[in-house]
Each structure stands twice: as C-alpha cells, then as structure tokens.
A = this chain, B = another copy of it.
C-alpha cells in the first residue's frame, strides 16, 4: 500500500443496489406520475419538493423492520457536526415541513410529493436502495373525512393510470380496532402502554405477514414461535391458543359487506373504548365514501390490513391489485399491494412538543410496483418513437445533411443526422435500426445533383437491415425518391402510413 502505483482505472459500475433507467423506462414512469399528479391536483393537493437530505434527528427512527438506530439510512456527518442522511420516505420530511412552516401553510394542508427515497439495505434481486414514492397527505385534519378522501383519491389515481375498476380494491382498517383486540388478549394495557411492548411488536409483525405465512405461521408466531425453512427460529408472542384464535378470526373478519364486517368486529372488541371508537370511525368512513359513490367494490373494510409501521394511530389503508399474475415458479398469484398508508397523529407533534397535536393522514404509492402492474396488464407505455435518421453519404456535405435534419425538427419531426464515422454505411443502417428509426434519409452525390433524396421506410425494411449493403438497400421497394424541397411533406406522409 505504501508503494506509488499508477492511478487505477475506475470501475464503470452502477453502485451495488442501485440502477440506471433508460429511455422508455424514464418516460413511462413520468407519464404515470403526471397522470397521478393530475388527480392529486384535482383533489386540491399542492406539490411539495423537499431536498433529498435531512438531518438524522428530523428523520427519526421509523423504518419498519429496523431495530438498531440509524440502521437502514445512508448517513454521514456534516462539517459542522450535524448528522445528515438521505430521506428514506416522503412522510418524515413532510412532518418536518408541517412543523417548520405551520404559520404559513394553509390548515389543513393537503400536499403531494413524488421522488426518490433511499434505503441502506442489503441489495437483493428486485430490491433496490433507491426507488420512487408518490405520496399524498393531509396535515391538520382530525376528521375521518380526510382519511376517506385519501382513499377515494387513491382509487381514482389507480384508475387514471390504467388499472380498471374491479382489478383493485382499497382495503381499510383501523388501528384502534386492532388495539381494542390487543386489549382483549392482554397485549396492550392503555394505562401502561410500554408493558409487553416486545410481545406486542412480535404480534403486530406476525399479523402484518398473514399473506406471507398464512394462518398456521401467524398462529405459531402469536403463540410459541416459528421455525422457518432455513431452520431459523423466531420467538412467539406467548399468547394462548384461545387468544390466538381471537386474533386470527379478527384478521379474516371481512364479510360479504361493510355492515356485516362491522357487526362481526363488534363481537370481538368487548366494548373496549379504543375498539368502539375505531369501529365508529370505520362506519363514518364507509358512509362518507358511499355518499361519493365509492362502494365496497372499490373501497372495503378489511380487518386483515395492519400496515407494519409503528406510527399509525387510526385508519390504515392498503391498495391491492386483485388480478392474477404468474410468479417466477409459474404459479398464479394475486399481484398484491401497490400502495399503503394511514393516519399518523403523532409524527408532527414530535417536532412541536407534547400538547401541540397536529393530526395527519396519507398514502404512499409504490411507483415501481404500480409500473410493474401496468406492464403485467399490457398497459405499459409503448416504446418511444425513434427518430428519422439522416444518413451521411458524403462527409464533406455535412452542412447539407444538417440542413435537412434542421428542417425536419423545425416541423416538429423527431430527427437526427448520423454523427458517427460515416465511412461504413452499414454501420449507419445498424445505428438506425438500434434507434428504432422509422425512416432513413439518404442522399448520395447523384441525388444531390438532381435535388432529390431517398426516403427508406425502415419499419418495413428492419429485418434485412443488419446485413444490407448500400446497393441491396437502395433496391428495396420500401423506398421512394422525392424532391429535396418536399422532404418534410414526404416524411410526414410516410410516418402517417
């Protein structure tokens, strides 16, 4: 290490766990986010863009499934000793903004935000350390009307990007109902909320994984613990079988309609204060949504929804896509969750101090999951149209070729002149092929002398392009000789075919 080595070439590699997005990958995400932003705007939500960087103390420690402090974020110490970090979601920055600008912002404040977030996690297949979220939140309203509105807007957003009604459902539950159940089974004592915190955490994480582990796995985790396929043992929450039964029956408590579900739930919560409050809130949300025409075909009460995050305090939501896809092993399965959220009445108060409550509720759409869903439904964006390529037959006449391409662009037609080494004409055709170009414009000395150009229809000719020599190429029927003066009009005509 002490010897002077010549500087090593840097590796040309995307950092582990990150990825690059090219062409259509960028434009299809943008189109989807633009459509969602249109819905958010219509609902009166205003855009907010905070910086990627926050202080570690402002971010707090709210990542799910993370026990050690600062784990899960990319953090570093600034020169003035503050610890800074990349945001891991868009909710923590909103809580900071809502506290910081509380005297300037309208109250309630409806805001939406779209952008990347970062997680310092072990990269894995399909698991990236930077990904997009698309959030909408209302801060400063304690009313369940705010929660209902968020759910209606989420349903509208899914439809506007191309998920047809019937292919999604927004499931709604309430943490208060769940807490009522935890009261009943002895995992939550309202007078001593810290007691049995560990067991309660185990139970909540187990409940949140009902889809993954099924009733048997969740029962193991609620009682004596569960050994997974690798032999790893997860300790259980220590409930007896009777209490585990209560929770499992609660989780699968979605009935034929909301009224039946609510009546079923009432049987569980034993008139606990929290549970009763939670059920009343669910009833109000269902009524408010029905008044706007959002019936249970779109938004439904489902006690199975828990949401992993510890900071939810009331209604919780999850948008699930109900159509089937084929998994990597060829088995059909439901596409599953693409968005989730809920009410978090304590997050802004963290900044303002106890006794200065600032209720809030919101939703976060998993942008990559939703894009994957659109692709699975054949609703992904079509490939961007390739440019018309003006080839270079005579490098001394580059000004002529650039004049052609300039005319096409001024007419609004996407066009390029070939900028590589023009010596090998085959390379120019390969280039046009790679660019998915619809038309190649060709002008050799003869054509130039006559004031003509050749237009070659590459959509027809694509298949032979790879090995074509210039002569073969010029003989194809899919090409026309036109007056240079008619270049724009003739290109338009060919593009329209």
Q: Report the bound CA distance from A431 to B106 in whole Å.
A: 6
**Judging by beta carbons under 8 Å apart, are B41 and A414 in contact?**
yes
Q: Which residues from 38 to 56 on chain A have a C-beta closer than 8 Å to any C-beta of chain B?
A: 41-44, 46-55
Contact A51:B20 (CB < 8 A) given known A9-B353, A402-B149, A414-B44 = yes
Once the chains bind, are B292 and A406 in contact (CB under 8 Å)? Answer: yes
How far is the CB of A350 from the nearest CB of chain B, in Å? 7
Q: How far is the CA of A406 from the CA of B288 in the complex (A)?
A: 11
Which residues of chain B have C-beta atoms less than 8 A from A292's C-beta? 402-403, 405-406
Q: Are B49 and A26 in contact (CB under 8 A)?
A: yes
B residues within 8 A CB of A298? Answer: none
Q: Mark A55-76, 1 if CB is under 8 A from B, else 0.
A: 1011010000000000000111
Q: Does A374 contact B (CB under 8 A)?
A: no
Q: Among B16, B76, B353, which residue has its beta carbon within 8 angstroms of that of A74?
A: B76
A291–B399 contact, CB under 8 A?
yes
Known: A10-B350, A43-B416. A16 touches B50 (CB 8 A): no
Q: In residues 67-102 of chain A, which contact B (Cβ within 8 Å)? A: 74-76, 78-80, 82, 84, 86, 96-97, 99-101
Taking the complex as formed, is A249 at the interface, i.e. its CB lies under 8 A from any CB of chain B? Answer: no
* B49 engages A12 (CB within 8 Å): no
- The answer to the question of A108 belonging to the interface, with a C-beta cut-off of 8 Å to chain B, is yes
Stretch at the interface among A135-143, A163-171, A236-244, A486-494: A135-143
* Complex contact A48–B20 (CB within 8 A): yes
Nearest CB of chain B from residue A339's CB, rounded to whole Å:
19
Q: Which single residue of chain B is at the shortest CB-CB distance from A354?
A: B9
| Alpha-carbon distance A12/B356, docked complex (angstroms) | 14
CA distance A135 to B374 in the complex (A): 29
A20-B50, A21-B49 as given contacts; A43 in contact with B409, CB under 8 Å = yes
Given contacts A149-B417, A398-B145, A420-B108, contact A46 B58 (CB under 8 A): no
By a CB distance below 8 angstroms, the chain B residues around A22 are 46-48
CB A409 to nearest CB in B, in angstroms, measures: 5
* Complex CA distance for A242 and B27, rounded to whole angstroms: 56
Question: A233 interface residue, CB < 8 Å from B?
Answer: no
Q: How far is the CA of A19 from the CA of B15 in the complex (A)?
A: 27
Task: Write out the residue numbers on chain B whose beta carbons fall within 8 Å of the beta carbon of A142.
Answer: 421
Q: Which residues of B contact A60 (CB under 8 A)?
A: 10
B16 touches A149 (CB 8 A): no
User: Are A140's CB and B48's CB within 8 A?
Assistant: no
- Interface presence of A13 (CB below 8 A): yes
Q: Across the interface, do B106 and A42 meet the contact criterion of CB distance under 8 Å?
A: no
* Known interface pairs A20-B50, A49-B26, A291-B403; A58-B145 also in contact (CB < 8 Å): no
- Could you list 25 examples of A-B contacts with CB < 8 Å? A8-B57, A9-B351, A9-B352, A10-B57, A11-B57, A12-B58, A12-B97, A12-B351, A15-B55, A15-B82, A22-B47, A42-B413, A43-B416, A44-B414, A51-B116, A51-B129, A52-B130, A53-B74, A107-B431, A140-B420, A146-B419, A149-B417, A156-B409, A291-B400, A292-B403
Please give 14 more A-B residue pairs, beta carbons under 8 A apart, in addition to A10-B58, A46-B384. A8-B57, A10-B57, A16-B82, A23-B46, A25-B49, A27-B47, A41-B384, A44-B414, A53-B118, A74-B84, A148-B402, A149-B417, A288-B402, A291-B402
